[in-house]
Copies of this chain bind each other. A is one copy, B any other.
Amino acid sequence: MSNHTDMKKIADIVGVSIATVSRTINSPESVRPLTRKKVLRAIEDHQYIYNSSAADLSRKKTTVIGVLIPDAQMPMFGSALVAIQDNLQEKNYSIMVGNTKYNSNIEVKLLKQFQQRNVAGIIKTGFDATQSTLEKSIKEWGIPCIVIFEKLQNPNISYVGFDNYKAAFSATQYLIELGHKRIGLIVGPYTKQMRIRKRVEGYKAALEESNIKFNPEISIETNVGLLEGKNAMSRLLSLPEPPTAIFAAADRLAIGALRAATEMGFCVPEDVSIIGYGDIDVAAFCNPPLTTVRTPNYSCARKATELIIGQIENNTNTIFHYCMETSLIIRDSCIQYK
């Protein structure tokens, strides 16, 4: 016989039915105060532990939300997680997290797990250019799914993000305004990732607007990482005619680039300007402090969580498109070109 405390046991102790116990837990206002008190007392005294699996099964619905991120090492994910949980805290939702490593096999697998575990909603950071199948499967599945940190043109997918194109445009424009003409680009794998591709496009558009010809020689696509940024920068600075300014479309790339410059004897910003992207927290603590584009990571994640909770609770599934503003954070890594 089960020696485990379940609702039945509590019900027996108090002398009420299981239903009453369930109600005291889920809608306390619907049970008489005296009864409620007795039930709560028994729960306390006998260390009853609510069984979510059973509830989930019965309700055909969980209070777990799935969070899909490409790389847990990205500082941006930290903000996302904190924001999401801040919002979920008092609601008794839990977070199930999956790290895709930019690998679509892993991603599909994780999504399947989420589906089997019947998560109530999904928050996904970033969206691959190649994910129409994914999109379809989520649609069919029918639970709310919000992409964050990205502005999508796809009208069928909700997002809370920012305009990567515009932000990259303004970063590049800033460099141009400072008089730079030879502006290098170090950027993540944009062949696969939409939000990165948008940055490349923004960069190109800004150049074009000022009649500067895009020069593929000083534009490097690489994985996002400190070392990768450093390596890319080394290559750029080894060129016979190195760029006078660099747009590193991720702060971690920028930090790597900064290091390469320093090691090669270039002064930043006197010899070469560097602008980053993301305003991760160390950016302000670099030497020199990094001029960068601030993206509203925390707000995006927070907003997305609010929205998704709303959808879950009201059982709706409309499409939301929120685009937040980015801003240029001017610090000391860029200077007028003389």
Query: Which residues of chain B come closer than 8 Å to A108, judged between CB atoms?
Result: none
- Residue contact B96 to A96, C-beta cutoff 8 Å: yes
**Please, what's the 1-or-0 string for A262-282, where 1 marks a CB less than 8 Å from any CB in chain B?**
100000000000000000011
- Residue contact A78 to B82, C-beta cutoff 8 Å: no
- Residue contact A285 to B226, C-beta cutoff 8 Å: yes
This chain's copy number in the assembly = 2
User: Main secondary structure on chain A at its contact with chain B?
Assistant: helix
Give the contact-size bracket for chain A: 35 or more
* Chain A positions 78-129 with a Cβ under 8 Å from a chain B Cβ: 78-79, 81-82, 85, 89, 92, 94-99, 106, 109, 113, 115-118
The answer to whether the Cβ of A205 comes within 8 Å of any Cβ in the partner chain is no
The answer to whether the Cβ of A24 comes within 8 Å of any Cβ in the partner chain is no
Give the distance in Å from the alpha carbon of A97 to the alpha carbon of B64 in the complex. 11
| Closest Cβ neighbor of A101 among chain B residues | B82
- Residue contact A118 to B51, C-beta cutoff 8 Å: yes
Given A82-B73, A98-B85, A258 contacting B282 (CB threshold 8 A): no
Residue from B53, B73, B75, B99 within 8 A of A117 (CB atoms): B53
Chain A residues with CB under 8 Å of chain B are 49-54, 56-57, 62, 64, 72-75, 77-79, 81-82, 85, 89, 92, 94-99, 106, 109, 113, 115-118, 226, 230, 255-256, 258-259, 262, 281-282, 284-287, 289
Closest 5 interchain pairs by CB? A287-B287, A53-B56, A73-B78, A72-B81, A53-B57
